[in-house]
Amino acid sequence: MNSDKLIDALFTQGWFVWDNFLTSHEVSELKACIPTDWSQAGVGRNDEYMTKKAIRSDKIQWLQSDMGPPVSDFLQRINDVRLEVNRHLFLGLFEYEAHFAKYEQGDFYQKHVDCFRGQENRKLTTVFYLNEDWQPEHGGRLKMYDLDDNELATLDPKAGRLVVFLSELFPHEVLPATQQRFSIAGWFRTNGVNGNQLDIAR
C-alpha cells in the first residue's frame, strides 16, 4: 500500500513521491475549484513579509475548507496522511496550511527551504500537482537537493502526483515553466510539544 511506502521512505530518506494520490477524475474536480483571484506570493513572515519577485514569481490563494467538496475531500485525504505519519513516525503533526499556486509562462521559485528562519515549525511539506498531460518541454520541474547541495530528484509536476518531504532537510526549486502550471503546496506544523525529530542519515 502506498501509505506504507510513504512511511518507509520518510523514515529512510525523508521524502517520497506518491503518484496517483488522486484519480484523474478527482484532479479535474479539484481543478474546477481553482480560484480566479490570486495574490503575488510572498517570502518570509510578519514584518519580514515581502513579495520578492526575484525569488519567486508565482501567485497563490490559500485553501479554505468552504471552497467546495473537492477541496474538503483533498484536505481529508491529507489528514489521513497526517494520521498515518503521526501513528508510525511520531512527528506530532498538528495543523495543515496549504495554498493553490499558479505559475504562468516564465514563472519560477528559486532554491529555498520551507521553514521560516529561526522558526522550525514547518515539519512536513506536501506538493500536489494538477497538470494533465505535462510534457518535459513545459519545464516547471521541482528540483530537490539535500543539505549538502547534492541533487536528489527532478520531478515533473504531473496531475495526481503528491510529493512529500521533511521541510527542514530538503532545499528545492521550481524551474521556470513554459506554460501555466498549477499546484497545491501545503505544510504540516507541530503543536510545539509532541514533535519528534526524524534524523535522516546524510
Q: Which residues of the shown chain bind ligand OGA in the complex (CB under 6 A)?
A: 101, 109, 114, 127, 142, 157, 172, 174, 183, 185
Shortest reach from residue 73's CB to Mn ion, in Å:
24
Radius of gyration of the chain (CA): 16
> Considering beta carbons, is residue 9 or 113 the nearer one to ligand OGA?
113
> Considering beta carbons, is residue 94 or 108 the nearer one to ligand OGA?
108
* Count, residues near Mn ion per rule CB under 5 A: 1
The one of ligand OGA, Mn ion, none whose footprint includes residue 101, by CB under 5 to 8 A per kind, is: ligand OGA
Cα–Cα distance for residue pair 92/83, rounded to 1 Å: 9
The one of ligand OGA, Mn ion, none whose footprint includes residue 107, by CB under 5 to 8 A per kind, is: none
> Considering beta carbons, is residue 82 or 129 the nearer one to ligand OGA?
129
Under DSSP, is residue 69 helix (H, G, I), strand (E, B) or coil?
helix
> Considering beta carbons, is residue 67 or 185 the nearer one to ligand OGA?
185
Does the footprint of Mn ion cover residue 107 (CB under 5 A)? no
DSSP state of 36: S
CA geometry: angle at 157 spanning 151 and 161, to 5°?
100
Match 530518506 to its residue by C-alpha cell. Answer: 13
Task: Please choose, from the candidates 135, 184, 188, 194, the residue with its C-alpha nearest in 3D space to the C-alpha of residue 27.
Answer: 184
Task: Please choose, from the candidates 131, 137, 179, the residue with its C-alpha nearest in 3D space to the C-alpha of residue 31.
Answer: 131
Which of 58, 114, 168, 173: binder of Mn ion (CB under 5 A)?
Answer: 114
